């Protein structure tokens, strides 16, 4: 069997959305799994709607997700000549014809069909009247494929045998009157020229496949294998769209998701490795497990809560220095990276998203401006408390070792002396230092804040008592 060559073929009419990214991920995984090639082709023949910077943004998002073309990126706008050649080869073989119907005539035919109550209008030339030679040179024409009468059947990697009624096809356009190629023409010309062995793409293209197969058949070219991947739905089971929130890779990138987490998440949208329930899979594991057989024939549901969970799992295993680097943009520019690293190490297991650092870690970067009301009533009302507090502050002024373990040990000694449980002083101290009733471990927080900040905050809190 020929080595696998797959392609991802986005039209640059918008940014890379989750559905497109999923198609890319499946193609990429399949290529890596089989040791084949993953190619990228930009389908930009629709020049009015396609934009160069959108193509670049798509390539950039793909790269961010860790997918790059194994050969140079193919741009359809560079290949117009090849499309014309294919269209004319089909005419030569009698499988396509020049259609001189003017747009006005076509509109009139559509109108008549509507009046006859036909739901859709399918253009089929009278088979006896396919004449092309008796037309004057220079008159504009479209090239149309002569639709067959017999059924077209193919084996889809996801859906099994798929049958289309050939008689229901219209004579579809290959070249428009302005000379621009249609999708069916260019896609076959390219897939053949690029040696594509497998086409993995969205279900929305399944009805295009018979038309493309017809072109392969006339040209005597071996068609690729096809696998059509079902739609992605939102949590309400309607087709995933803007209504459901962010739908583009760029938006998730901006929100601070990790590329590996998003990749893992997308890979499981409609595909499953089928081994147990483990969902956090490294790229190598995904590559190893991927198969077209594992693609589910029913639609996948996009669940952002799961993505958040997955992102947190990835954040928790990131090397601390990498994590710190991701957190820096969410903090004041004056904060030193070394300091952020210490905070990152302490909070890593609690962060779900990098921006959580702002709220969750606020007390590492700012003195509290106020102290939780309920906490004050609960922890600061003991009459003995101000005395203990000032003793403790005094002791801290001269402590040599400000490490968490020594601080903890020391506090326990104080507690024994005062005859109280450690919790009786830990909670009030936490409130004084962070303004909150919940924080990371008190002694670790103190070690990171350092003596002078700790003393400053404790003294301010004492003045409140």
3-class state of residue 199 by DSSP = strand
* Under 8 Å between Cβ of 61 and 263: no
Site mask for ligand GLU (CB under 6 A), range 141-180, x = bound = ----------------------------------------
| Piece in contact with ligand GLU (CB under 6 A), picked from 9-17, 297-305, 329-337, 360-368 | 9-17
β partners of residue 233? 239, 301
Dihedral sign (CA 337, 339, 341, 343): negative
3-class state of residue 229 by DSSP = strand
CA 87-36-161 angle, 5° bins: 60
Closer by beta carbon to ligand GLU, 205 or else 283: 205
Assess 61 for contact with ligand GLU (CB under 6 A).
Answer: no
Closer by beta carbon to ligand GLU, 196 or else 323: 196
Assess 239 for contact with ligand GLU (CB under 6 A).
Answer: no
Site mask for ligand GLU (CB under 6 A), range 178-217, x = bound = ---------x-------------x---x------------
Angle at which helix 423-434 crosses helix 442-449, to 10 degrees, equals 40
Assess 10 for contact with ligand GLU (CB under 6 A).
Answer: yes
Closer by beta carbon to ligand GLU, 18 or else 429: 18
| Piece in contact with ligand GLU (CB under 6 A), picked from 8-16, 64-72, 302-310, 375-383 | 8-16
Closer by beta carbon to ligand GLU, 23 or else 34: 23
Closer by beta carbon to ligand GLU, 212 or else 434: 212
Least distance to ligand GLU, CB of residue 41, Å: 8
Q: Of 264, 236, 268, give the one whose Cα is nearest residue 252.
A: 264
Report d(CA 352, CA 82) in Å as an integer.
Answer: 50
3-class state of residue 277 by DSSP = coil
Number of CB atoms found within 10 A of residue 86's CB? 24
Closer by beta carbon to ligand GLU, 50 or else 439: 50
* Residues annotated as catalytic (active site), given as ranges: 242
Assess 11 for contact with ligand GLU (CB under 6 A).
Answer: yes
Assess 25 for contact with ligand GLU (CB under 6 A).
Answer: no
Q: Is 370 exposed, middle or buried (0-12, 13-18, 19+ CB in 10 A)?
A: exposed
Give 113-118 contacts, CB < 8 A, sequence gap 24+. Answer: none
Site mask for ligand GLU (CB under 6 A), range 26-55, x = bound = -----------------x------------
Least distance to ligand GLU, CB of residue 3, Å: 20
* Token pair of 85 as six digits: 């050649």
Least distance to ligand GLU, CB of residue 16, Å: 10
β partners of residue 173? 144
β partners of residue 227? 200
Least distance to ligand GLU, CB of residue 95, Å: 21
Closer by beta carbon to ligand GLU, 43 or else 171: 43
* Under 8 Å between Cβ of 68 and 31: no
Report d(CA 425, CA 454) in Å as an integer.
Answer: 15
Size of the site for ligand GLU (CB under 6 A): 7
* Token pair of 55 as six digits: 């193509």
| Piece in contact with ligand GLU (CB under 6 A), picked from 5-13, 110-118, 125-133, 339-347 | 5-13
CA distances from 71 to 41, 67, 343 (A): 10, 12, 43
Least distance to ligand GLU, CB of residue 213, Å: 13
Question: Which residues in this chain contact ligand GLU in the complex, by CB under 6 A?
Answer: 9-11, 43, 187, 201, 205
């Amino acid at each position: 069997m020929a080595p696998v060559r797959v392609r991802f073929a986005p039209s640059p009419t918008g940014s890379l959305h989750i559905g497109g990214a999923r198609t890319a991920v499946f193609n990429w995984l399949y290529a890596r799994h089989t040791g084949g090639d993953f190619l990228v082709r930009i389908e930009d023949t629709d020049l009015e709607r396609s934009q160069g910077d959108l193509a670049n943004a798509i390539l950039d998002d793909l790269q961010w997700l860790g997918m790059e073309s194994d050969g140079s990126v193919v741009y359809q706008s560079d290949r117009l000549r090849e499309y014309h050649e294919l269209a004319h080869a089909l005419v030569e073989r009698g499988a396509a014809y020049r259609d001189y119907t003017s747009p006005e005539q076509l509109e009139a035919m559509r109108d008549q069909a509507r009046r006859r109550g036909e739901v859709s209008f399918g253009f089929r030339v009278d088979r006896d009247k396919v004449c092309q030679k008796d037309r004057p040179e220079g008159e504009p024409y479209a090239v149309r494929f002569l639709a067959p009468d017999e059924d077209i059947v193919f084996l889809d990697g996801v859906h099994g045998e798929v049958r289309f009624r050939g008689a229901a096809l219209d004579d579809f356009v290959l070249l428009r009157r302005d000379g621009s190629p249609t999708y069916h023409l260019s896609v076959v010309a390219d897939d053949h020229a690029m040696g594509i062995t497998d086409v993995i793409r969205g279900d929305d293209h399944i009805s295009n496949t018979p038309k493309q197969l017809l072109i392969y058949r006339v040209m005597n070219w071996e068609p690729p294998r096809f696998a059509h991947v079902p739609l992605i739905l939102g949590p309400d089971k309607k087709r995933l769209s803007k209504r459901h929130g962010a739908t583009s890779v760029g938006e998730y990138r901006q929100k601070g998701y990790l590329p590996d987490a998003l990749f893992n998440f997308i890979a499981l949208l409609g595909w499953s490795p089928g081994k147990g329930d483990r969902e956090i899979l490294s790229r190598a594991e995904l590559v190893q497990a991927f198969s077209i057989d594992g693609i589910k024939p029913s639609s996948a549901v996009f669940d952002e809560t799961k993505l958040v969970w997955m992102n947190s799992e990835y954040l928790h295993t990131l090397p601390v220095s990498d994590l710190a680097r991701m957190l820096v943009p969410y903090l004041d520019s004056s904060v030193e990276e070394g300091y952020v690293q210490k905070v990152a190490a302490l909070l890593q297991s609690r962060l779900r998203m990098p921006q959580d650092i702002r709220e969750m870690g606020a007390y590492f970067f700012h003195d509290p401006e106020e102290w939780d009301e309920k906490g004050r009533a609960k922890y600061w009302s003991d009459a003995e408390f101000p005395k203990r507090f000032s003793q403790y502050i005094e002791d801290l002024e001269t402590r040599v070792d400000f490490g968490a373990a020594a601080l903890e040990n020391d506090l326990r000694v104080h507690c024994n002396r005062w005859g109280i449980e450690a919790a009786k002083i830990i909670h009030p101290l936490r409130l004084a230092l962070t303004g909150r009733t919940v924080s990371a471990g008190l002694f670790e927080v103190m070690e990171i804040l350092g003596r002078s900040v700790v003393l400053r905050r404790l003294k301010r809190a004492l003045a409140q008592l």
